[in-house]
Structure 1
Amino acid sequence: MRRLPFPAPPTTRRVVAAWPAAVAGTIALSLAGEGAAHAAPPAPPLSSLPTAPLKVLPVLTALTGTVTYTVQPGDTVWGIARANGLDVASVQAANGLGPDSVIRPGQVLVLGGAPAAPAAPAPAPAAVTHEVQPGDTISAIASANGVSLDAVLSANGLTRASIIYPGDVLQIPSGAPAAASAAVAAVTAPGLDAEQSDNARLIIRIGRELGVSDHGIRIALGTAMQESWLRNLDWGDRDSLGLFQQRPSMGWGTPEQIRDPDRATRVFYGGPSDPNGFTTRGLLDIPGWEQMAYADAAQAVQISAYPDRYAQWEQPATTWLAVLG
């Protein structure tokens, strides 16, 4: 397998944006309004009110018999009620507010007519299930449904050591787990772009699923970085392909199989669940690999012409695992 040079990672720059003046002013006004709402004085007697006409507040809207008002920066419930000839208590009651309630700019208050109807509760999401097919894995099922592996395990009372069989029906959780999964997917590790981070995350996930130690996962991450820059390449030295630059001519699989990052990673790890069986030798198949030096263990799998180059990735791989794993 040809070992390709790795370019220096791009410089990461952090850009800190200043708050626009308009936004800062709105925040200041909002805070002033909030403080006033918390410490609103009692309404003065009518005799003490100024003789000048009261300010008419804008943004009043009539909708199906209900008059509403959109709160502006600096507003208080008392000020809105008095400016529109209303009783403070009635405005509070119509909007479910208490004496200490805080109103904020953009909030819509009901000032007259029928109170706004409460929003209808969101319908409960329909239950999603998956019938296990031959070749399915829990991690692949979770990924296909946009949820985390742990969410699927928890929903079905399973552990990472559990075995699923064709015909089993798994409950697929929805909602928050999918959002959390999307948030996790957006994380990138130092020195890696989004594509590289996604591939690193896949290597880590499969390693966890197979019960590989952190040392083994770090070896896999560094090997993939040295071989392909953590990219699923469709080219390489001679017939080398994919994340680990495995060669069809050496029995690692067909070109399509080697270009499947999930399968290629499992073949690199090897062990009892190796898709190649005994055709190739993965990391877990090497006696004493846990006691080997980092580069020696990677070289035992890859048989590279440049065995010392793996060592440079041990520390970066430790960081990537800490951030993404």
Structure 2
Amino acid sequence: MRRLTLSPLPARRSSAWPAAAVWPAAVAGTIALSLTGESAAHAAPPAPALTTTPPVPRTVGAPIAVAKAVATAVTASTYTVQPGDTVWAIARARGLDPAAVAAANGLGADAMIRPGQVLALTAAAAAPTAPAPAPAPAPATTTHEVRPGDTVSAIARANGVSLDAVLSANGLTRASIIYPGDILRIPSGTDSGAPAPAALPAATAPGLDAEQSENARLIIRVGRELGVSDRGIVIALGTAMQESWLRNLDWGDRDSLGLFQQRPSAGWGTPEQIRDPERSTRVFYGGAGDPNGAATRGLLDIPGWETLPYPDAAQAVQISAYPDRYAQWEQPATTWLAVLG
């Protein structure tokens, strides 16, 4: 009888195969084919007949061939092992967890699988996927309805947030004007949000510098809040220009002070009150919102003021020694309102 001498296989494992595949099925198949000349007593048992298409040749480093073999031999719940298969390759080709496939078939970490072996796949868990990141919570906001006399800075301060945060949340700049009835979004005190955009330089009106334009905006804003008509605002702008050059002066004729050169001795308020430009503007307009009440008479308190000639309406409030001088500011004040208001 002819004896076949087998040389020991080199102890090498391809890095393309997991550690669990100590003896790949392809090697076992090669040994079985080499022993076909032996007697029946020494021959390797024949591999079970396959019910699927012939096995696809296994080429190391060719995962596409393995995937095709897997796809050919898979049924709904089981898989018949082909030469060259590993648990890892079978599981990954079906999107399953290799450890779950091994556990479902009672295989250990170093277990071998052989061609023709049937593996159960039903109980195998799908390969874990990374959870989707939770959506960022929406920043908490409240709202505030603007009331007469409100300013953005006062609203921000009352809600414990920065002026820039309120401006940014509402698409405003420091030059913006708010009106009674406007609804402002107020970000929460802990919501940093996006940084507020840098405020653009405040626009100036023709013939006015930055300080004068800022005071003109204040006169316009207060007039809007009080519901004063455009003509009334134009009268206030021209009056302030004639009296103080639209500057909040700390001096004047005798004890006159501020934007409208109001006099403490005539009952218009204390020097500190008169030097408050917003308060002095409200006093000039008068009406129901006059901080002085009935102690002084503002524009809205003059009967028929809207039908009076421009200089006469201003003079009715100011009682100036030079009443005709107000007339020169009617047209410029109209332009300032159009540009700034």
TM-score with structure 2 setting the length: 0.48
Post-superposition Cα deviations, 1:166-223, rounded to whole Å, max 9, x if no partner, equal: xxxx74369899648x33x610000000000000000001111111000000000000
Shift of 1:141: 2.4
User: Which residue of structure 1 aligns with residue 306 of structure 2?
Assistant: 290
State the alpha-carbon separation in 1 of the partners of residues 288 and 327 from structure 2: 27
Q: Which has the higher helix share?
A: 1
1:1-325 to 2 correspondences below 5 Å: 137-138=150-151, 141=154, 145-146=163-164, 151=170, 160-162=179-181, 171-172=185-186, 179=197, 182-183=199-200, 186-325=202-341
For residues 176 and 296 of structure 1, do their structure 2 counterparts lie closer, same or farther at Cα, with a shift above 3 Å needed?
Answer: farther
- Structure with the bigger RCO (C-alpha within 8 Å, sep 6+) is 1
Match for 1:312: what amino acid?
Q
**Following the alignment from structure 1 to structure 2, what is the Cα–Cα distance between the partners of residues 176 and 218?**
39
Contact 2:222–2:281 (8 Å) recurs in 1: yes
Give the unaligned 5+ runs of structure 2: 1-135, 158-162, 173-177
Segments of structure 1 that go 5 or more residues without pairing to the other structure are 1-122, 154-158, 165-169
How many residues matched? 188
Q: 1:307 to 1:319 in 2, by over 3 A?
A: same
Shift in CA distance, 163/315, structure 1 to aligned 2, threshold 3 Å: closer
**CA deviation string 1:117-138 (max 9, x = no partner):** xxxxxx9996577999xx9624
Partners in 1 of 2:232 and 2:195 — Cα distance?
28
Cα pair 2:156 2:186 within 8 Å, conserved: no
1:138-158 per-position Cα deviation (integer Å, ceiling 9, x unaligned): 45625872556x9599xxxxx
In structure 1, distance between residues paired with 2:194 and 2:320? 44
Q: Secondary structure at the match of 1:272?
A: helix
Q: Distance in 2 between matches of 1:307 and 1:143?
A: 42
Distance 1:142 1:203, change over 3 A: farther
Q: Please, what TM-score do these two structures have when normalized by structure 1? A: 0.51
Identity of aligned residues (%): 74
Deviations along 1:202-260, one digit per CA (max 9) or x if unpaired, are: 00011111110000000000000000000000000110000000001111010000000
Name the Cα RMSD after superposition. Answer: 3.6
Contact 2:243 2:261 in 1 (8 A): yes
Output the amino acid matched with 1:137: D
Task: Write out the 4+ residue segments of structure 1 that deviate beyond 3 Å after TM superposition.
Answer: 123-132, 150-153, 159-164, 173-180
The answer to whether the 8 Å contact 1:138/1:152 transfers is: no
d(CA) in 2 for partners of 1:143, 1:285: 33
For the pair shown, the structure with the greater C-alpha radius of gyration is 2
CA distance in 2, matches of 1:303, 1:177: 49
